[in-house]
Amino acid sequence: MEERLRRGPALGIVAALSAAAFFLRRQQLLTAYDETGMIRPGAGAGFFTYFTVAVVVLLAVFAWRLRRCPVRQAISSRSLEAAVGMMLGAFGVLLGSFIMFFSPNAASDRLLALAGIFTAVCWAAVAVGNLQGKRLHPALFFLPVIFFGVRLARDFRTLSSDPVILDYCYALLALIFTMCALLELGAFAFDRGRRRLAVFFCLGSVFFNAASLADATPRNLALTGGALVYLLSCSWLLLRPVAVRKAAKDANP
């Protein structure tokens, strides 16, 4: 017996919510500030803020209703759609990393760009390995976490000096959810994955990355878009219906 789950409609709803997040964030950026660049009174807790909270709660409820499936098969499949999506995500990160390398804003950008290139290689290897049905090395899942972790630390250090949290909160949330999603995906390589948490962070990352695209620079546009597409592809694999008996056996070996 399989769980009742239609991943196409589920991902379609997430895509629609993410598109709404992008346009609402753009509208917020256009209307939340006055002529001097300061935020208008009451603009911080607007409709988009409540919309974001509602979507996060919705994703949490959706993920909680899923069956457990800790084994690596939850994220491995010879799915051409998923492989193409992962490759596109890898290309986005690769493009953003090249832009960062050749147009650095700080001395550390070149090193970070090299980590981004390595992340793209890891994601491409995951896509090819899945398509070939190979067992993937755990390092391919965990090494990209370093790239996003360093980006998170650097961006927070840079942006936290801004007194208006509305300026950067969605970009930081996108990085946090992306890093958590990659960590949860890596656990499946050891057959200790937590499918519910992985789905929650993957879909949440798609949502927040879409929102942060609204004010992204060209290089961040490629990096953010790449992460969005890659984790959307991982969600496609995670949301395959799981047989109830198999899920119970995997959860209690």
pLDDT tens column, 158-203:
776 665 566 678 889 999 999 999 999 999 888 888 999 999 999 9
**pLDDT grade for 65, boundaries at 50, 70 and 90:** confident
Q: Which of 52, 91, 99, 112 lies closest to 216, judged by CA?
A: 99
**pLDDT grade for 32, boundaries at 50, 70 and 90:** low
Name the E strands within the chain: none
Q: Which residues contact 253 (CB under 8 A, 6 or more apart)?
A: none
Q: Which residues of 6-34 are buried (b: 16+ CB within 10 A; e: fewer)?
A: eeeebbeebeebbebbbebbeebeeebbe
Q: What is the pLDDT of residue 84?
A: 94
Q: What is the pLDDT of residue 168?
A: 75
Q: What pTM was estimated for this model as a whole?
A: 0.87
Q: What is the pLDDT of residue 247?
A: 43
Q: What is the pLDDT of residue 248?
A: 41
Mean pLDDT value of segment 133-156: 89
Q: What is the pLDDT of residue 251?
A: 43
**The pLDDT of residue 19 is above 80:** yes
Positive/negative CA dihedral, 81, 84, 90, 94:
negative
**The pLDDT of residue 38 is above 90:** no
What average pLDDT is seen over the chain? 85
**The pLDDT of residue 129 is above 50:** yes
Comparing 182 with 36, which gets the higher pLDDT?
A: 182
Radius of gyration of the chain (CA): 18
**pLDDT grade for 127, boundaries at 50, 70 and 90:** very high
Per domain, the residue ranges of the chain are: 7-251
Neighbours of 156 (CB within 10 A): 14
pLDDT tens column, 75-108:
888 889 999 999 999 999 999 999 999 988 877 8
Q: Which of 59, 109, 127, 107 lies closest to 223, judged by CA?
A: 109
Distance CA 65, CA 233 (A): 20
Range in 176-180, 203-207, 214-218 with the lowest mean pLDDT: 214-218
pLDDT tens column, 106-125:
778 899 999 999 999 999 99
Distance CA 230, CA 239 (A): 14
Q: Which residues contact 235 (CB under 8 A, 6 or more apart)?
A: 7, 11, 14, 199, 202, 203, 206
Distance CA 39, CA 29 (A): 9
Q: What is the pLDDT of residue 157?
A: 82
Q: What is the pLDDT of residue 94?
A: 96
Q: What is the pLDDT of residue 249?
A: 45
Distance CA 94, CA 82 (A): 18
3-class SS of residue 160: coil
H helix or E strand, kind and range, residue 155: helix 139-159
Type of residue found at 93: V
**The pLDDT of residue 204 is above 90:** yes
pLDDT tens column, 220-234:
899 999 999 999 999
60, 203 Cβ separation under 8 angstroms: no
Q: What is the pLDDT of residue 7?
A: 78
